[in-house]
Structure 1
């Protein structure tokens, strides 16, 4: 399956709003401008079907889709707060979010059902 991509351009981080205001007219329309003093700006990202966004305050959001029994996160968490999942196509098997076999800061293992995708969102630091 082909993934669609969007050209997001460059990411500009400004230490103050006054400095941003001096340069805002020179920033391309597909560029992203962020204020450093807002406490949480993106420092790394992988924007795809299985991806993540890491913020300057340490918060990490990861998402994706898997049919594997064990899912290895793109970025390991130092603190793993929660994961939300949904079974893509419901069959006679019932998927229960609390039926984890094992969960670590770098992976999660769950019961798999043949030909079924599990979509997930994980939050941590």
Structure 2
């Protein structure tokens, strides 16, 4: 399944979760429900996956933790904040570069309309 195919499933799942729960909950609540729903859809999901970072001969076993990785192709960075800032977009792009993945979705569940809270971040896609 391509990144774009996965993206459609993920976005539709985000719509379902947001419609059911509404905005304003902690990020961890949305993460738990998304994990459950995406697993239920038969997708391979990794949650709070530690990603190593390398610098010269130094290896940091956990340079960062990805909120959710879908099918080892798409990183989901989940937020429940007043407003997404540029640093969140840059953060996700850096995660994509470090993992050599091509697509990330930055999802802010604290929006009245979830369509306003989903941003695609691409790395050579």
TM-score category (smaller protein): under 0.3
TM-score (norm 1): 0.26
> Which is helix-richer, 1 or 2?
2
* Structure with larger Rg: 1
